[in-house]
Amino acid sequence: MALFVLGSMVSATIFIPFMLLKPRDSRNALLPAWGCRQIAKVLGLKFVVHGHKNIVQEEGAVVLINHQSLIDLIVLAELWPVMDRCTVISKREIFYLWPFGLASWLWGTVFINRGRAKDAQETVNQTSKTINTRKSKILMFPEGTRHGGDTLLPFKKGGFHIAVACQTKIQPVVVSQYTFLDYESLTFDSGTVEISILPPIETEGLTKEDMPALMDKTYNIMTKEYNKLCGFDKTTKTTSAKTD
Protein backbone atom coordinates (compact mmCIF):
# COMPACT_ATOMS: atom_id res chain seq x y z
CA MET A 1 0.00 0.00 0.00
CA ALA A 2 2.87 2.39 0.78
CA LEU A 3 4.20 1.96 -2.76
CA PHE A 4 0.77 2.70 -4.17
CA VAL A 5 0.35 5.86 -2.06
CA LEU A 6 3.81 7.13 -2.98
CA GLY A 7 3.26 6.44 -6.66
CA SER A 8 -0.13 8.14 -6.59
CA MET A 9 1.30 11.26 -4.96
CA VAL A 10 4.04 11.46 -7.58
CA SER A 11 1.62 10.99 -10.48
CA ALA A 12 -0.71 13.63 -9.00
CA THR A 13 1.97 16.32 -8.70
CA ILE A 14 4.56 15.70 -11.40
CA PHE A 15 2.31 17.24 -14.06
CA ILE A 16 1.75 20.53 -12.19
CA PRO A 17 3.80 22.60 -14.71
CA PHE A 18 1.39 21.53 -17.47
CA MET A 19 -1.67 22.17 -15.28
CA LEU A 20 -0.56 25.75 -14.65
CA LEU A 21 -1.31 26.51 -18.29
CA LYS A 22 -5.07 26.02 -17.70
CA PRO A 23 -5.82 26.38 -13.97
CA ARG A 24 -9.11 25.01 -12.62
CA ASP A 25 -9.65 22.90 -15.76
CA SER A 26 -10.96 19.39 -14.98
CA ARG A 27 -8.94 18.04 -17.90
CA ASN A 28 -5.79 18.76 -15.89
CA ALA A 29 -6.49 15.55 -13.97
CA LEU A 30 -6.28 13.37 -17.08
CA LEU A 31 -2.49 13.07 -16.91
CA PRO A 32 -2.40 12.20 -13.17
CA ALA A 33 -5.26 9.76 -13.80
CA TRP A 34 -3.22 8.12 -16.56
CA GLY A 35 -0.25 7.85 -14.19
CA CYS A 36 -2.44 6.28 -11.50
CA ARG A 37 -3.71 3.67 -13.97
CA GLN A 38 -0.14 2.74 -14.90
CA ILE A 39 0.72 2.25 -11.23
CA ALA A 40 -2.28 -0.05 -10.91
CA LYS A 41 -1.04 -2.16 -13.83
CA VAL A 42 2.42 -2.44 -12.29
CA LEU A 43 0.84 -3.63 -9.04
CA GLY A 44 -1.20 -6.25 -10.89
CA LEU A 45 -4.58 -4.56 -10.50
CA LYS A 46 -7.04 -4.64 -13.39
CA PHE A 47 -10.12 -2.40 -13.50
CA VAL A 48 -12.97 -3.10 -15.92
CA VAL A 49 -15.59 -0.38 -16.48
CA HIS A 50 -19.11 -1.35 -17.59
CA GLY A 51 -22.13 0.79 -18.49
CA HIS A 52 -20.58 3.54 -20.62
CA LYS A 53 -23.95 3.93 -22.36
CA ASN A 54 -25.52 5.02 -19.06
CA ILE A 55 -23.25 8.05 -18.57
CA VAL A 56 -25.13 11.35 -18.31
CA GLN A 57 -24.29 13.41 -21.40
CA GLU A 58 -24.01 17.16 -21.93
CA GLU A 59 -25.05 18.10 -18.40
CA GLY A 60 -23.85 17.93 -14.84
CA ALA A 61 -24.59 15.13 -12.39
CA VAL A 62 -23.87 13.92 -8.87
CA VAL A 63 -21.92 10.67 -9.23
CA LEU A 64 -22.22 8.44 -6.15
CA ILE A 65 -19.62 5.70 -5.63
CA ASN A 66 -19.26 3.14 -2.83
CA HIS A 67 -16.13 3.78 -0.75
CA GLN A 68 -13.71 0.99 0.22
CA SER A 69 -10.10 2.15 0.56
CA LEU A 70 -7.36 4.38 -0.83
CA ILE A 71 -7.46 2.14 -3.89
CA ASP A 72 -10.61 4.06 -4.79
CA LEU A 73 -8.19 6.62 -6.25
CA ILE A 74 -7.80 4.22 -9.17
CA VAL A 75 -11.58 4.13 -9.56
CA LEU A 76 -11.57 7.92 -9.91
CA ALA A 77 -8.69 7.62 -12.38
CA GLU A 78 -10.75 5.18 -14.45
CA LEU A 79 -13.87 7.36 -14.41
CA TRP A 80 -12.20 10.70 -15.15
CA PRO A 81 -11.46 9.96 -18.86
CA VAL A 82 -14.92 8.47 -19.60
CA MET A 83 -17.07 11.09 -17.84
CA ASP A 84 -16.77 14.66 -19.08
CA ARG A 85 -15.80 17.46 -16.70
CA CYS A 86 -15.31 15.42 -13.52
CA THR A 87 -14.40 16.99 -10.21
CA VAL A 88 -14.48 16.10 -6.52
CA ILE A 89 -15.27 17.79 -3.20
CA SER A 90 -12.56 17.93 -0.56
CA LYS A 91 -12.13 19.53 2.84
CA ARG A 92 -10.29 22.84 2.67
CA GLU A 93 -7.31 21.56 4.69
CA ILE A 94 -6.24 19.41 1.73
CA PHE A 95 -5.48 22.56 -0.28
CA TYR A 96 -2.65 23.41 2.11
CA LEU A 97 -0.94 20.02 1.68
CA TRP A 98 1.29 21.20 -1.13
CA PRO A 99 2.20 20.20 -3.75
CA PHE A 100 -0.82 17.84 -3.77
CA GLY A 101 -3.16 20.61 -2.67
CA LEU A 102 -2.03 22.82 -5.53
CA ALA A 103 -2.54 19.99 -8.03
CA SER A 104 -6.05 19.39 -6.64
CA TRP A 105 -6.92 23.07 -7.02
CA LEU A 106 -5.58 23.12 -10.57
CA TRP A 107 -7.85 20.26 -11.68
CA GLY A 108 -10.92 21.96 -10.20
CA THR A 109 -11.48 20.38 -6.78
CA VAL A 110 -14.25 22.11 -4.81
CA PHE A 111 -12.78 22.88 -1.38
CA ILE A 112 -15.21 23.23 1.52
CA ASN A 113 -15.34 23.90 5.25
CA ARG A 114 -17.02 21.13 7.21
CA GLY A 115 -18.86 21.12 10.49
CA ARG A 116 -21.18 24.11 10.73
CA ALA A 117 -24.65 24.40 9.19
CA LYS A 118 -23.61 27.65 7.50
CA ASP A 119 -20.67 25.86 5.87
CA ALA A 120 -22.90 22.99 4.77
CA GLN A 121 -25.22 25.40 2.96
CA GLU A 122 -22.23 27.13 1.36
CA THR A 123 -21.09 23.72 0.12
CA VAL A 124 -24.46 23.16 -1.54
CA ASN A 125 -24.38 26.63 -3.12
CA GLN A 126 -20.80 26.33 -4.34
CA THR A 127 -21.25 22.83 -5.72
CA SER A 128 -24.55 23.73 -7.38
CA LYS A 129 -22.78 26.56 -9.20
CA THR A 130 -20.07 24.14 -10.36
CA ILE A 131 -22.64 21.68 -11.69
CA ASN A 132 -24.86 24.24 -13.37
CA THR A 133 -22.23 26.54 -14.90
CA ARG A 134 -19.54 24.00 -15.80
CA LYS A 135 -21.90 21.05 -16.32
CA SER A 136 -19.55 19.13 -14.05
CA LYS A 137 -19.85 15.60 -12.73
CA ILE A 138 -19.30 15.75 -8.96
CA LEU A 139 -17.82 12.43 -7.80
CA MET A 140 -18.79 11.64 -4.20
CA PHE A 141 -18.71 8.75 -1.72
CA PRO A 142 -22.15 8.71 -0.03
CA GLU A 143 -21.09 6.26 2.71
CA GLY A 144 -18.74 8.95 4.01
CA THR A 145 -16.13 6.51 5.30
CA ARG A 146 -14.10 3.63 3.92
CA HIS A 147 -15.72 0.25 4.26
CA GLY A 148 -14.88 -2.99 2.49
CA GLY A 149 -17.57 -5.21 3.98
CA ASP A 150 -20.27 -7.37 2.44
CA THR A 151 -22.89 -4.59 2.65
CA LEU A 152 -22.87 -0.88 1.90
CA LEU A 153 -22.96 1.53 4.83
CA PRO A 154 -25.97 3.86 5.25
CA PHE A 155 -25.73 6.86 2.96
CA LYS A 156 -25.18 10.40 4.19
CA LYS A 157 -27.35 13.21 2.87
CA GLY A 158 -24.75 15.57 1.37
CA GLY A 159 -24.81 14.36 -2.22
CA PHE A 160 -28.59 14.13 -2.23
CA HIS A 161 -28.93 17.69 -0.91
CA ILE A 162 -26.79 18.86 -3.82
CA ALA A 163 -28.65 16.81 -6.44
CA VAL A 164 -32.07 18.02 -5.28
CA ALA A 165 -30.91 21.65 -4.98
CA CYS A 166 -29.53 21.52 -8.54
CA GLN A 167 -32.38 19.38 -9.85
CA THR A 168 -29.63 17.33 -11.46
CA LYS A 169 -29.41 13.59 -12.06
CA ILE A 170 -27.77 11.13 -9.70
CA GLN A 171 -25.38 8.75 -11.45
CA PRO A 172 -24.81 5.62 -9.31
CA VAL A 173 -21.47 3.85 -9.75
CA VAL A 174 -20.83 0.56 -7.99
CA VAL A 175 -17.38 -0.98 -7.45
CA SER A 176 -16.93 -4.65 -6.66
CA GLN A 177 -15.40 -5.73 -3.36
CA TYR A 178 -11.60 -5.62 -3.09
CA THR A 179 -11.22 -9.28 -2.21
CA PHE A 180 -7.47 -9.08 -2.87
CA LEU A 181 -6.93 -6.45 -0.14
CA ASP A 182 -6.03 -7.30 3.46
CA TYR A 183 -7.44 -4.41 5.48
CA GLU A 184 -5.45 -5.23 8.61
CA SER A 185 -1.99 -5.43 7.05
CA LEU A 186 -2.83 -3.00 4.21
CA THR A 187 -1.26 -5.35 1.69
CA PHE A 188 -2.80 -6.71 -1.47
CA ASP A 189 -2.23 -9.20 -4.26
CA SER A 190 -3.10 -8.84 -7.92
CA GLY A 191 -6.79 -8.80 -8.74
CA THR A 192 -9.60 -7.57 -10.95
CA VAL A 193 -12.16 -4.92 -10.03
CA GLU A 194 -15.51 -4.43 -11.76
CA ILE A 195 -16.87 -0.88 -12.02
CA SER A 196 -20.53 -0.62 -13.01
CA ILE A 197 -21.97 2.72 -14.17
CA LEU A 198 -25.73 2.48 -13.62
CA PRO A 199 -28.54 4.43 -15.32
CA PRO A 200 -29.08 7.91 -13.86
CA ILE A 201 -31.79 8.63 -11.30
CA GLU A 202 -33.94 11.70 -11.93
CA THR A 203 -34.41 14.40 -9.29
CA GLU A 204 -36.39 16.92 -11.34
CA GLY A 205 -39.36 18.17 -9.35
CA LEU A 206 -38.15 16.64 -6.08
CA THR A 207 -37.86 18.63 -2.86
CA LYS A 208 -36.21 18.08 0.52
CA GLU A 209 -39.30 16.17 1.61
CA ASP A 210 -38.61 13.60 -1.11
CA MET A 211 -35.03 12.99 -0.04
CA PRO A 212 -35.59 9.97 2.26
CA ALA A 213 -37.33 8.07 -0.54
CA LEU A 214 -34.66 9.17 -3.03
CA MET A 215 -31.89 7.98 -0.70
CA ASP A 216 -33.58 4.63 -0.12
CA LYS A 217 -34.11 4.17 -3.86
CA THR A 218 -30.46 4.93 -4.64
CA TYR A 219 -29.19 2.75 -1.80
CA ASN A 220 -31.30 -0.20 -2.92
CA ILE A 221 -30.21 0.12 -6.54
CA MET A 222 -26.54 0.29 -5.59
CA THR A 223 -26.84 -2.55 -3.06
CA LYS A 224 -28.47 -4.81 -5.63
CA GLU A 225 -25.63 -4.13 -8.08
CA TYR A 226 -22.98 -4.57 -5.37
CA ASN A 227 -24.40 -7.98 -4.48
CA LYS A 228 -24.44 -8.90 -8.16
CA LEU A 229 -20.84 -7.83 -8.79
CA CYS A 230 -19.60 -9.57 -5.64
CA GLY A 231 -21.61 -12.75 -6.20
CA PHE A 232 -23.61 -12.34 -3.00
CA ASP A 233 -27.08 -13.82 -2.66
CA LYS A 234 -28.79 -11.29 -0.43
CA THR A 235 -32.12 -9.54 -0.26
CA THR A 236 -31.81 -5.79 -0.71
CA LYS A 237 -33.03 -3.90 2.34
CA THR A 238 -33.88 -0.25 2.74
CA THR A 239 -31.56 1.68 5.03
CA SER A 240 -32.11 4.74 7.14
CA ALA A 241 -29.98 7.74 6.27
CA LYS A 242 -27.23 9.27 8.34
CA THR A 243 -27.44 12.93 9.22
CA ASP A 244 -24.89 15.31 7.72
pLDDT band at 115 (very low <50, low <70, confident <90, very high): low
Average predicted confidence (pLDDT) for the chain = 90
Summarised one tens digit per residue, pLDDT across range 181-211 is 888 787 788 999 999 999 999 999 999 999 9
* pLDDT at residue number 176: 97
111 pLDDT more than 90? no
Residue 17 lies in a domain: yes
**Is there a domain that residue 236 lies in?**
no
The pLDDT score that the predictor gives to residue 244 is: 57
218 lies in some domain: yes
239 domain-assigned: no
Number of domains in the chain: 1
Is residue 166 included in any domain, yes or no? Answer: yes
CATH of the domain at 166: 3.40.1130
pLDDT digits (tens, 9 = 90+) for 118-165: 666 777 777 888 888 889 999 999 998 998 889 999 999 999 999 999
Distance between CA 221 and CA 128 in Å, rounded? 24
pLDDT tens digit string along 38-96? 999 999 999 999 999 999 999 999 999 999 999 999 999 999 999 989 999 888 898 99
Place 240 in a pLDDT band, splitting at 50, 70 and 90: very low
Give a yes or no: residue 235 inside a domain.
Answer: no
* pTM of the entire predicted model: 0.91
Q: Whole domain around residue 47: which residue ranges?
A: 2-230
